[in-house]
Amino acid sequence: MNKTALITGASKGIGRELAILFAEKRCNIVLVARSEKELRELKEELRNKHALSTVLMLVKDLSLPDAAQELFDEIKAREIDPDYLVNNAGFGDYGAFADTSWERYEKMIALNVTTLTHLTHLYVRDWCGRKPGRILNISSTAAFQPGPMMAVYFATKAFVLHLSEAIGDELKKNHITVTALCPGPTDTHFGEESKMNASQLVKNVRIAGAAEVALLGYNAMMKGKPVAVHGAMNSLVPFAIRFMPRKWVTRLSAKVMKI
């Protein structure tokens, strides 16, 4: 029997490329995102190219209250039992902390942290003692240091990384793996929507392709690796900053993030 992957934020970028990878492996897929047009196009592409028996699209804003529970209940009602959970939905915003509205931060925290955590909790409790499972949480290289000008986004990704590592250790006995994928700047809609493309960080580094990042994450998930960092230089940063005073790390990050 084919396994099933549930992918949030599936309409664009890394989420879309992950959906294609799962389809190539003959997995049935549940696609979740806000964009109905892009989801529908992806659904038809996967069905036509891979002849999958199940490609379900659910149009949903996961930043809304109770979104995770509603999504979980709807999938249960359709008698779909995912084997893989990919928490890819998320967004960031470039700008000074005081200049961004609380409403924007509230939605960011709800999507990047609350819904991801709730959906993970729902499936972990559903799988424990019944079946193995694999979870891929999309974090970022932003998780390894503070990020002036994107303070809340960096903080949410640190949460995702630490949560993933901690529960991954807890869940080994239940045959459930949790992997945190930490990409650096990637060629997706994120850079434009977050306004991060204006920063020195994006101007001065190689921008990775969404497909190569997705492949790294997929392979790491299937191997049960706790953390996957894309790119040799990106992998050096978490190691190097361990030997620097925290205030130096923050100052360096601020310099890199300036316009």
Catalytically active residues, by annotation: 153, 157
Q: Beta strands of 60-175 (E only): which ranges?
A: 84-87, 133-138
* Calpha distance 176→91 (Å, rounded): 27
Between CA 133 and CA 38 the distance in angstroms is: 28
| Separation between Cα atoms, residue 111 and residue 90, nearest integer Å | 6
Tell me phi and psi for residue 172, to 5 degrees.
-55, -40
Q: Identify the H or E element spanning 169.
A: helix 151-170
Is residue 5 within 8 Å of 30, Cβ to Cβ? yes
